[in-house]
Structure 1
């Protein structure tokens, strides 16, 4: 009598296996691109120290970048559906490389302003195309895990890139521009060579963004994501200002605490992404946003590095819970031939939040820590409730 034993999949296979080869080419290109993302975190330093702009003028130049990024996602969404995912992604990366070098060698203010606007327009063109590619390549059941792995790769690459960028900036900012440009070209070539075009034939009735805006579930979801993005954008806008100017942490203390965010994501997120991906997406996303909002609300009570680390663990847990879920929901809501436009509207919410976050956070921080962080926590709570209310409509899809 023979017996058959069924082997359980290995840990690595359960977390990383079962996804198509083109997805891994996209993942690898994203990782390389994030490893080379060194310019944007140090742009303010570059404009003030290397180009001699005042803080006020540098802020206006960054605002021009924000205007470009607002247009970027909507333009990229249309291009993704019209000319294809692969062409949009690769083309966007090549334009990003050229613009990076143009900015790095610009010395006059008009040239810097023009380069920053174009960079805002092209640097994130890849996002709607990447989101649509994952939706095209990966089965619905595996999409939360696939989007979660992309999120993990972005954070892994960004953590290394930030560390290397800080060191290279000391040798000369031009190194940052060249490395960023080269990593963008590698991403473009890898996708062009290893990822097939997946764009479906467009329907006769498919229009522009009007058809997306008529989808009330998608519009509601985008508004909920705008709230979540406003909460998270504080990590790059008001959190550094509040911790260094109000709490009086040194840059080193703040950087050490923030490094914990990347470490937790890299270590924990792959372990839980599969399990989270099998839960109801709307409820899971609502939980993550609520936890994130609570973590930022706790920041009102921070007085030292340890207190910041505690709050950071809380909102990072929320970030880990949400990883991969929004992209999977967008893929569920979007018709196949409109996935670029739907992803573009989703990306627009994040670009808009990046512009609004400092405009909202700055005046609130002047009132006080409680005013800022309780408001941010409240926005997180409202977004979480919105996601719960959208749950039945998302489940029907």
Structure 2
């Protein structure tokens, strides 16, 4: 008696197989868009060098951009549910291209301020639509893997785009604006042509629509607070960390070399672990990742060299990899199908708010490095504990929404 052998899928197929074609169109567009992300990493340099703005004026411009981002996620989330995922994403990308070129050709402070506010409003408008598309297209069990692959595409594209942007900037900043605008247009066209509209209609007799319905969801509000804690920890990478390392005595070259470990680890490890992480309890896994991130940043208080900084970066990057695909999957599991855009918008709002609050922690450095980094570590641990506490409720909600 013989038994038929079952051929096991290859490791690569297990990591990327089984996802629908529209997802890969979204993934490809995300990668192209991030390959063209060249303006934002060099905005401060552009404003001060090319446009001759003072440090104070540059700070005001960046604050206006941040205000646009705060409004962006809530507005885009509502549009995602009202006019559709595809229209919001493509429209946001076309608006980003126009705002990029407007900023590139703006020469006066009022024009720069207006362009930066509009850019803040539209540059990340694609995120709620993208998140909702994944939730619409992908079965719950596969969502962590799908969100993880999108995170991987963002990091891969950003790393290449930033490197190319530094080279192109030497030939003139205007090149950066044109490449960024072109990549946004390509993303818009690709999604419009290759991704179907997936917006579901509200169920008869079910919960209503509107942001008010989202804000009544206590579980989502509690998880948003957890996301805010996670975002506050991560936001130290581009706010207080560069300042703290300069005080330690590391120059920009040494800091950049150490930070490269973050991108390398994400590009190498993220596709390998997304499927495995997706089989774990989402809220507990997310909580673990945040706690590891917090521990990694707490260790930064002992850094005195490039090697020491790189070691701490390895620790918090591992936590970042764990959280990357899980958070979006949790939000998708909490949201009624017809409100996925708004739920994703609230999630994005937490990240935008953290980006504005995180720099306010810099004065802790005037007390001591330990005061800053142990505070960041404590935020990570408390956030992780809150995530564990929410885990049973999140599991119950996910089971209810999957029926």
Could you tell me the TM-score, scaled by structure 1's length? 0.98
2:189, 2:229 → 1: CA distance?
35
Q: CA deviation at 1:207?
A: 2.9
Paired position in structure 2 for 1:268 = 269
1:164, 1:367 → 2: CA distance?
38
1:234, 1:227 → 2: CA distance?
12
2:60, 2:203 → 1: CA distance?
42
Q: CA deviation at 1:20?
A: 0.3
Paired position in structure 2 for 1:348 = 349
Paired position in structure 2 for 1:310 = 311
Equivalent positions of 1:182-261 (< 5 A) are: 182-203=182-203, 205-244=207-246, 246-261=247-262
2:86 is aligned with 1:50? no
Paired position in structure 1 for 2:369 = 369
Equivalent positions of 1:129-148 (< 5 A) are: 129-148=129-148
Aligned residues: 395
Paired position in structure 1 for 2:89 = 89
Alpha-carbon contact 2:209-2:339 (below 8 Å) kept: no
1:53, 1:96 → 2: CA distance?
23
Q: CA deviation at 1:3?
A: 4.6
Q: CA deviation at 1:366?
A: 2.1
1:73, 1:323 → 2: CA distance?
18
2:119, 2:381 → 1: CA distance?
34
1:206, 1:185 → 2: CA distance?
34
Paired position in structure 2 for 1:330 = 331
Q: Which moved more, 1:158-167 or 1:184-193?
A: 158-167
Paired position in structure 1 for 2:378 = 378
1:170, 1:241 → 2: CA distance?
25
| Per-residue Cα deviation, 1:302-360 (whole angstroms, up to 9, x for no partner) | 1110010000000000001111000000010000000000000000000000010102x
2:114 is aligned with 1:114? yes
| Per-residue Cα deviation, 1:163-217 (whole angstroms, up to 9, x for no partner) | 1111111111111100000000000000000000000113575232111111111
1:362, 1:315 → 2: CA distance?
19
1:87, 1:153 → 2: CA distance?
22
2:14 is aligned with 1:19? no
2:24, 2:159 → 1: CA distance?
20
Q: CA deviation at 1:282?
A: 0.8
For the residue of structure 2 that corresponds to 1:261, the secondary structure is: helix
Segments of 5+ residues of structure 1 without an aligned counterpart are none
For the residue of structure 2 that corresponds to 1:6, the secondary structure is: coil
Q: CA deviation at 1:2?
A: 5.7
For the residue of structure 2 that corresponds to 1:18, the secondary structure is: coil
1:285, 1:3 → 2: CA distance?
41
Equivalent positions of 1:159-198 (< 5 A) are: 159-198=159-198
2:336, 2:209 → 1: CA distance?
12
1:102, 1:11 → 2: CA distance?
46
2:156 is aligned with 1:156? yes
RMSD: 1.0
Q: CA deviation at 1:150?
A: 0.4
Paired position in structure 1 for 2:281 = 280
For the residue of structure 1 that corresponds to 2:196, the secondary structure is: coil
For the residue of structure 2 that corresponds to 1:124, the secondary structure is: coil
Q: CA deviation at 1:156?
A: 0.6
Segments of 5+ residues of structure 2 without an aligned counterpart are 398-403
For the residue of structure 1 that corresponds to 2:363, the secondary structure is: helix
